[in-house]
Amino acid sequence: MDEQKTKQHTEAPEPIDLTALLGELWRIFTRMFWVPLVLAVLAGGLLGLRSWRSYTPMYRSEATFTVQLLSNQYDITGVDSYYDKAAAEQLANTFPYLLSSDLMQQLLQRELGVGWLNGSITAQSVANTNLFSVQVTSTSAQDACDILNGVIAVYPQVANYVVGSTELTVLVPPAVASQPYNAFQPTRTIIKGAVLGFGVGVVFLLVLAMASKTIRTREDMKKWMNVPCLGTLPTVSFKRRTGKTGGTVTILNDRTGSAFQESIRSLRIRFLREAERQESKVFLVSSTVPGEGKTTVAVNLALTLGQNGARVILVDMDLRKPSVKKALGLTAPSKGVPELLRSGEESPKAALMELEGTRVRVLAGDKAVENPRRQLESRKLSGLIKALREEADYVVIDTPPNGLLGDSTALAGLADGILYVVRAGKAQVPHIMDSIQLLSSSRTPLMGCVLNGVKENGGGYGYGYGYGYGGYRGYERHSRKSGRDGQLEEERK
């Protein structure tokens, strides 16, 4: 019995966190807001088109007249006229019947010389009088008027069989309608369709939000991944300015704010503890998809290690889209790993750029490589990494997103440890786990993860580089195309 209760408790559905769900819905909406808009336009357009195709203009012709039994001596139109109430009631009761009778239809067809009547006839009477109003509606304005004139002409013949001889006096004669009475007004239909389409789009995004499994907090990382979190980095927001470091997200830029700089220092403490425990010296920094901030983490980790007194070499091994120099605000031409491998130089020392005011040297090229896989599989690469080990206390290697390509996996075997960057709310958990699984095949230990882009409760942070992975475009079916590889969304003027 206890085991059954335990099983039921284990299989109980997880309660929905409404706040987190709404947050995820808003994140997806800001990224895919075009879906409800497109559905609204399509639904409104389709319903409007359907309304237009099913629209048939209808015309109405109307006449008012009196009907008098010739047996009566007086007409109600006279000054001293008197109309028998019973006779009026008899006419009122029989008039609609006469209009719809087969005899009326036959006489009308004969009068008009047609095989069928293109219209419908309705009649109204004023109570206790012999005053009648007849309306004919038709798809043709002329047909409506002709049918009504035919009714006035043949009515006395039809009435003669039922109520006796009658006299019909026209008060308001029929006229040909100049425009349809049911004018085409699709606005309301289009609005209804647009609202319906937008609602369907929002429901679709809600379903995506409910099915989404992303990492947003340390608790999420603990829940979904059995990987230690070495630190969380807040998002940073500032307007781009001119200057060497005016628009870079680094701890050298005072405009990044104290929260970001303190988070980098906390990351350094935990990172050094893991590095000492694993006796690691060469570190590889990667992520799952573009735009998670791996380059920003690699750059700032190198800088903070340098501030701590260590000699650090920062290597840009993202050969498809080099970004380290851009992240540091460096513009001077320089050689990178591909140039060293092609030249066959034994020592990389001459190619290392000194980062002014720091103990960090940078090995980064300026151009993307057409065939980076060949460079990564070069036998000379291991010798180059070995030479870099001798030149520094720590070597930090920035690599491409591992969830799209296997470049990081190919490099992992040359490193002592892997630092994995996860941007809050970016990649799906299964995709992250698949990427980490690929890296684990190199047998290089995973030191831990950095959760990037965490929104602080009191913070107004948010920054991102204008960074596009053109070389990875064909692989981005697994992730959202990104135009950023920095800390987060930059506010632009």
Q: How many CA atoms lie within 13 A of 269 on its CB side?
A: 7
CA distances (Å), origin 166, targets 63, 85, 106, 269: 18, 16, 20, 111
Domain extent at residue 27:
15-55+184-207
> How much is the average pLDDT of 484-493?
36
Q: How confident is the model at residue 460 (pLDDT cuts 50, 70, 90)?
A: very low
- Considering its fold, how many domains does the chain have in total? 3
Q: How confident is the model at residue 220 (pLDDT cuts 50, 70, 90)?
A: confident
> Would residue 353 count as lying in a domain?
yes
Task: State residue 195's pLDDT score.
Answer: 95
Q: Are residues 189 and 159 in the same domain?
A: no
Largest CA distance in the chain: 131
Do the strands 131-138 and 59-69 form a parallel or antiparallel pair, or are they unpaired?
antiparallel
**Phi, psi (degrees; rounded to nearest 5) at 381:** -65, -40
Instruction: Pinpoint the alpha helices (H) of 33-176.
Output: 34-54, 85-100, 102-112, 141-160
Q: Are residues 36 and 153 in the same domain?
A: no
Arithmetic mean of pLDDT over the chain? 81
Task: State residue 5's pLDDT score.
Answer: 46
**CA 99/CA 147 separation, integer angstroms:** 12
Quick one: tokens of 319?
A: 């050969």
CB of 376 closer than 8 Å to CB of 442: no
Q: Are residues 33 and 136 in the same domain?
A: no
* Alpha-carbon dihedral angle through residues 50, 53, 57, 58, given to the nearest 10 degrees: -70
Query: What is the tens place of the pLDDT at every residue in 281-307?
Result: 999 999 998 889 999 999 999 999 999
Q: Are residues 190 and 290 in the same domain?
A: no
Q: What is the pTM of this model?
A: 0.63
> Would residue 232 count as lying in a domain?
yes
Among 142-151, 198-207, 368-377, 413-422, which stretch is predicted with the lowest mean pLDDT? 368-377
Q: What share of the chain has pLDDT > 70, as a percent?
A: 82
Among 35-49, 165-179, 228-242, 293-307, which stretch is predicted with the lowest mean pLDDT? 228-242
In CATH, what number is assigned to the domain containing residue 167?
A: 3.30.70.1130
Q: Are residues 41 and 75 in the same domain?
A: no
Give the residue, 51 or 371, on which the prediction is more confident: 51
If one counts every other C-beta atom within 10 angstroms of the C-beta of residue 18, the result is 8
What is the number of residues in the chain? 493
Return the CA Rg of the chain.
Answer: 42
On the question of pLDDT at 484 being above 60, the answer is: no
Among 86-90, 149-153, 283-287, 459-463, which stretch is predicted with the lowest mean pLDDT? 459-463
Contacts of 194 (CB under 8 A, 6+ apart): 40, 41, 43, 44
**Phi, psi (degrees; rounded to nearest 5) at 160:** -60, -30
Query: What is the tens place of the pLDDT at every residue in 78-99?
Result: 433 444 566 667 777 777 788 8
Helix, strand or coil, per DSSP, at residue 185? coil
Q: Are residues 331 and 192 in the same domain?
A: no
